[in-house]
Amino acid sequence: MRESPEQPLSSFKLWGGRFSKPTDRLVDELNASISFDRRLAYHDILGSLAHVQMLARQGIIPEIDAVAIVEGLGIILREIQQGEFEFRLEDEDIHLSVERRLRELIGPAAGRLHTARSRNDQVALDLRLWTRDAILVVSKGISEVVQALLDLAGRHRETVMPGYTHLQRAQPVLLAHHLHAYVAMLFRDLERLRDLYGRVNRSPLGSGALAGVTYPVDRQYVADLLAMDGICENSLDAVSDRDFVLEFLAALSLLMTHLSRLAEELILWSTGEFGFVEIDDAYATGSSIMPQKKNPDVAELIRAKTGRVLGHLTGLATVLKGLPLAYNKDLQEDKEGVFDAFDTVALILQVLPPMLRTLRFRTDRMAEAAAGSFSLATDLADHLVRQGMPFREAHELVGRVVAYCEAHKKDFPDLTPAEWSQFHPLLAESRPPLTVWDAIRAREIPGGTGPGQVSRALEQAVARLAEEVAWIEAERQRLAAAESRLLAGAAL
């Protein structure tokens, strides 16, 4: 280390031993990650507290130095939390910043903290600890969106609307059924995050720079202190794997894709042309020139920010795809994208539930639209099939009825018995079901829009949501307990 006045370095480096010149200022700027990885400070200190406790327990460093280190880390954490900590570009990254400050506070004993550790396994640990918290925050946010959708669906078990294919009216459905479709998507998002959590929550410490460390460390003990579910099984992989970040970004991208589809429907439904829904004034904006305008900006931004999150996924995948083992500095590029993706998603998950709750559905418009455009044509064909006609024949016949109605500007209910019977004797004998509710009630099959099925689906969703929320809460408490044990040692 170079501190002598004879060889001044413009920027002092903790790794400066073999260097005869200071790094170029621009190189410092390019190389440094402190401007964004300072966000890992809390997790960096947690990791160090666990590491130093293990080092002392294994007799790798003297107990007295460990006590000083733990105390110093506690002071640093307080400084950071109170905004008093000085982050310097020359410190390069959060790991070196904390170590520099520790040395200022406790002197040479600080130099023992980095025993049996490299920044390579350290940064991998920090990011894993950050990601597991982020997963819980996002999961909680999703659960709140699900709750809002279930509340809305509960209020609209009797609201009918047109279901679409190709954005053409196809068959009537219940609004509750349509909303439950998003609940089903969001449950898959929760499931993905929970599954991924187990792969994130593993400790890479002990891998050192790449090959494993030469000290008798207890890797499992460190993992236990940090409430992690185990250790990474290969040191080379542990320091260079960022799958867990990619998986998180993929899960966020899928989540955003789902929210974007919902947003798109709200945009469409709030147009004058559809007029199915009104977005509350608190969640819409006006135009600077057209006084009559009310724009669905929140929904539009949800749709647009999906591109941003997906961009971070492709960005990191591109960084990773050509990297040789093990650590490469390229990996430093893993952080900004995932931080931004998380911030974007977290904000949206806060805005969406109240926006959903304050939607006003124009149920009259929906009901009117549900009945139009011959949306009961399939049901008419099904009626003929039940009388014994092969489906293809029924399809053809109903097609002719539709063409006749269009030519005479009529709808099915307007047809007289004489008109019906001219198409087929079967239609002279029995009247087909011709209301929207006939069509909806006819679909009491699992997963269908029949009112009984929809009620059952909503009940199951309520129970499932309670289970998901209980898991999130239990996990949060487990982590909080482990963290307060570590911090208690540091008198925090």
The least CB distance from residue 216 to ligand ARG, in Å, is 24
- Token duo for residue 96: 């070196």
* CB of 240 or CB of 449, closer to ligand ARG: 240
User: For ligand ARG, which residue of 23, 120, 139, 159 counts as binding (CB under 6 A)?
Assistant: 120
Q: Fill in the DSSP letter of residue 91.
A: G
Distance of alpha carbon 89 from alpha carbon 184, whole angstroms: 47
The least CB distance from residue 119 to ligand ARG, in Å, is 4
- Token duo for residue 126: 């920090």
Q: Is 44 in the site for ligand ARG (CB under 6 A)?
A: no
* CB of 47 or CB of 162, closer to ligand ARG: 47
The least CB distance from residue 33 to ligand ARG, in Å, is 4
* CB of 14 or CB of 469, closer to ligand ARG: 14
| Cα–Cα separations (whole angstroms), residue 463 to 145, 213, 459, 466 | 15, 47, 6, 5
* CB of 118 or CB of 139, closer to ligand ARG: 118
User: For ligand ARG, which residue of 37, 44, 91, 99 counts as binding (CB under 6 A)?
Assistant: 37
**Active-site amino acid positions:** 166, 287
3-class state of residue 277 by DSSP: strand
The secondary structure element, H or E, covering residue 265 is: helix 243-269
Contacts of 209 (CB under 8 A, 6+ apart): 118, 120, 121, 239, 326, 327
Sign (positive or negative) of CA dihedral 127, 129, 135, 140 = negative
**Interacting stretch for ligand ARG, rule CB under 6 A, among 78-86, 150-158, 324-332, 418-426?**
324-332
| Cα–Cα separations (whole angstroms), residue 301 to 12, 179, 266, 295, 296 | 44, 20, 12, 11, 9
Provide the β-strand partners of residue 277. 361
Q: Fill in the DSSP letter of residue 295.
A: B
**Pattern 154-183, binding to ligand ARG, x per CB under 6 A?**
------------------------------
Q: Is 240 in the site for ligand ARG (CB under 6 A)?
A: no
The least CB distance from residue 372 to ligand ARG, in Å, is 59
User: For ligand ARG, which residue of 332, 358, 363, 421 counts as binding (CB under 6 A)?
Assistant: 332
User: For ligand ARG, which residue of 13, 100, 119, 178 counts as binding (CB under 6 A)?
Assistant: 119
Q: Is 123 in the site for ligand ARG (CB under 6 A)?
A: yes
The count of chain residues that interact with ligand ARG, using the rule CB under 6 A, is 10
The least CB distance from residue 98 to ligand ARG, in Å, is 12
Q: Is 331 in the site for ligand ARG (CB under 6 A)?
A: yes
| Cα–Cα separations (whole angstroms), residue 114 to 14, 15, 60, 102, 182 | 11, 12, 11, 11, 48
The answer to whether 367 and 160 are in contact (CB under 8 A) is yes
Q: Is 238 in the site for ligand ARG (CB under 6 A)?
A: no
- What part of residues 395-454 is at the interface with ligand ARG (CB under 6 A)? none
In 160-231, which ranges are continuous DSSP H helix?
175-200, 219-225
**Interacting stretch for ligand ARG, rule CB under 6 A, among 16-24, 118-126, 162-170, 185-193?**
118-126
User: For ligand ARG, which residue of 327, 342, 412, 420 counts as binding (CB under 6 A)?
Assistant: 327
The least CB distance from residue 335 to ligand ARG, in Å, is 6
Distance of alpha carbon 206 from alpha carbon 247, whole angstroms: 24
The least CB distance from residue 106 to ligand ARG, in Å, is 23
* CB of 95 or CB of 156, closer to ligand ARG: 95
Place of tokens 């998901």: 468
Q: Is 33 in the site for ligand ARG (CB under 6 A)?
A: yes
* CB of 166 or CB of 329, closer to ligand ARG: 329
- Token duo for residue 304: 């647009």
**Interacting stretch for ligand ARG, rule CB under 6 A, among 329-337, 346-354, 364-372, 426-434?**
329-337
The least CB distance from residue 52 to ligand ARG, in Å, is 19
Distance of alpha carbon 303 from alpha carbon 297, whole angstroms: 10
Backbone angles phi, psi at 217, to 5 degrees: -75, 160
Please give the radius of gyration of the chain, using alpha carbons only, rounded to the nearest integer.
31
The answer to whether 245 and 334 are in contact (CB under 8 A) is yes
- What part of residues 88-117 is at the interface with ligand ARG (CB under 6 A)? 93
Provide the β-strand partners of residue 182. none
Residues that bind ligand ARG (CB under 6 A): 33, 37, 93, 119-120, 123, 327, 329, 331-332
